[in-house]
Structure 1
């Protein structure tokens, strides 16, 4: 039986689109072993794959979230490179004990790529977002560039130091620049092709299969108060800035001010690093939670206020929910602009230049999306087309074909 090892990036936005593909590969009788952190054991074991945990001291989703909250994207890169020092030897030992036929890795899990290079194995990259290059970056305003530089400069020495240590330890196993995100011999994008701007790195090895949602996997709503709110009849607005970014208390209070008097139900998912008690008493139409089963809430929602992460945007569009996108970093601006160009939402860019979103700006954006039926119609059009590229089944077919070609090449 063909055996694939998958090395995950321990973050929900990366594991969620991977799990349906893994489930499909297992259904096709491939042996799949998933390496991730204990946090994702149940989710990955449910696919039918063999789960093996990373060493507990290597990297966690909390490490990534902390780096995201407290620094620039460069700080996340430095944390990933530090984890690589620990995880490459771990995977080398695992592959010597239990050899594989190919390595599939999240496009940011550099340790998987390096272990594959060391073992001489074919590589499959799961690219959970688009490639963002020069064409994408032209959309940034000067004040956004200045804010990015202000945040990134203090993190640059950490990246340089971590990269130097990895290169010194592993030499030629380290991928050539640009390292992040990493392509493979086969690169699969579980996103719609229309989200990708032109990029010279896209070649015949790159394939866009659309979202890999698994309709058979549903999350129940165990919270009685949330379940009661979802059963209501007024329009439902969900607000969330994702699992990695931390919305400020000021932002969530702005949501109270902007949305509290609407004839609507509001679900405010504030993340585990925000104490709801600090926000004060929410309006009577607003329910505040650290987290909610997002897919289930969006299935009932009429509008989604989101940071614009790929996973969240696709989940919203899957349910034909128009969006108000408040990017926290450049990649999310690119995603937001693509959605807005298709008419399915609007973008508020203040956070990218270090400014808060005023309550009146948020209210205006919400009113605009709610009052103009063209936004909902555009979201419905996108939703109707999201499955056309094949999703997890198409991705698994590409992997099957890729492995068969590699096997035939070796035999010849």
Structure 2
């Protein structure tokens, strides 16, 4: 069968979706390689794929804030995103390109289809005239909200709702010019320098469009209803393919109080995700205080071995409960807005209260609010009163739950794994 090379920047939320794809492709009989950071070797090898380490200059072996201490001082989400675009997306591009070329040039290597996460740019040089071996085809996998610009949208990273009015489009043009100044001095300049080092003969595209348009196919792991309406046509290679289902954890141990979850009339879950959980005072502990006297069972998923302070009588705490087991019993999820977790909730018909301000979370929150299935608090450290109000409104007003149910049906109609296989086979068969 066709050889498939998966590539992901060494960041949890980018590697893990592609890890699930790797496992599925291995089970289907594909020869699968996975190029990513050294921290993920064991996780990748467990899928049956061949692990291929990124070179040191493209690897990330610690947290962003430890690697780039100056990043912590950047308060604007848009400016922080541009910092990441320059240092985490664009700067490693040439090393990624060289690693890909080494794998494509291996003795006896079959023609290869490349699958890469949204912001892995290692295929860009070869697609713009750099010397080397062309892959058989390239498939982008959208693991963050669609970054594609539109006249009705503010630039990605500002977290603003779309506005197609005359005033709104004026706002969008003004912010786009502001964002262009940032990128020209940072990430785009980094791309130009990288293209020169790699020997590319064409200039790099603007990042927001290139992320979607450089691949032959771009499969967005989401649904149309979790994106904004657009006035400009979408690129022909774009497909919305739904969310990846969570991996089944057959060895999961449920907490001793699990029967309370099953029997409860109303269940609220609060989680800060798998990474942004070092400080429970940002969301988990304020939520516990906010909901302490409500008639609702509050389930806390800490993501690590720690217990919040002052756990009220109506709360239960676990380090981890598989969402595929938990979400069917949940009435509202309070979350910091990771893209994958939000989609898991909506694919189960669970409405959300979102409080995120880092990475792509401002865009996730805004899109979920626009969909009608979430309250977006638009901050990473919300007030207790705002949390309580949002949860009460969600529990009392059926409109968000009804809308989440509609989105669940839209997710259920998609098969992302089959869509990925279809794209691979189309490109392997010469249907470019």
**TM-score range for the pair, normalised by the shorter chain length:** 0.7 to 0.9
User: Does structure 1 residue 264 correspond to structure 2 residue 296?
Assistant: yes
Q: Distance in 2 between matches of 1:84 and 1:58?
A: 8
User: Does structure 1 residue 235 correspond to structure 2 residue 266?
Assistant: yes
**From 398, 403, 407, the counterpart of 1:382:** 407
Q: Distance in 2 between matches of 1:396 and 1:298?
A: 28
User: Does structure 1 residue 123 correspond to structure 2 residue 138?
Assistant: yes
Q: Cα–Cα, structure 1 residues 389 and 46, in superposed 2: closer, same or farther, change >3 Å?
A: same
Residue 31 of structure 1: aligned partner? 31
Q: Distance in 2 between matches of 1:226 and 1:6?
A: 40
CA displacement at 1:82 relative to structure 2 = 3.3
Q: Where in structure 2 are the equivalents of 1:72-221 lying within 5 Å? A: 72-77=80-85, 78-97=87-106, 99=109, 100-114=111-125, 118-121=132-135, 122-128=137-143, 129-134=145-150, 135-137=152-154, 139=161, 159=187, 162-163=190-191, 165-172=193-200, 176-180=204-208, 181-183=211-213, 184-197=215-228, 198=230, 200=232, 202-213=234-245, 217-218=248-249, 220-221=251-252
1:246-300 superposed Cα distances (whole Å, 9 cap, x missing partner): 667254432232122223332334556xx957x6333233345666544443343
Q: 1:195 touches 1:338 (CA, 8 Å); kept in 2?
A: yes
Q: Distance in 2 between matches of 1:250 and 1:16?
A: 25
User: Does structure 1 residue 313 correspond to structure 2 residue 342?
Assistant: yes
User: Does structure 1 residue 303 correspond to structure 2 residue 320?
Assistant: no
Q: Distance in 1 between matches of 2:281 and 2:180?
A: 23
Residue 3 of structure 2: aligned partner? 3
User: Does structure 1 residue 405 correspond to structure 2 residue 413?
Assistant: no
CA displacement at 1:51 relative to structure 2 = 2.6
Q: 1:189 touches 1:208 (CA, 8 Å); kept in 2?
A: yes
Q: Distance in 2 between matches of 1:204 and 1:85?
A: 27
Q: Distance in 2 between matches of 1:106 and 1:403?
A: 19
Normalised to the residue count of structure 1, the TM-score between the two structures is 0.79
**From 369, 372, 382, the counterpart of 1:357:** 382
CA displacement at 1:55 relative to structure 2 = 4.0
* Cα RMSD after superposing both structures: 4.0
Q: Cα–Cα, structure 1 residues 250 and 12, in superposed 2: closer, same or farther, change >3 Å?
A: closer
1:132-170 superposed Cα distances (whole Å, 9 cap, x missing partner): 42433262899x999999999999966467446524422
CA displacement at 1:368 relative to structure 2 = 0.6
Q: 2:365 touches 2:378 (CA, 8 Å); kept in 1?
A: no
Q: Which runs of 5+ in 1 are unaligned?
A: none
Q: Cα–Cα, structure 1 residues 119 and 244, in superposed 2: closer, same or farther, change >3 Å?
A: farther
Normalised to the residue count of structure 2, the TM-score between the two structures is 0.76
SS of aligned partner of 2:242: coil
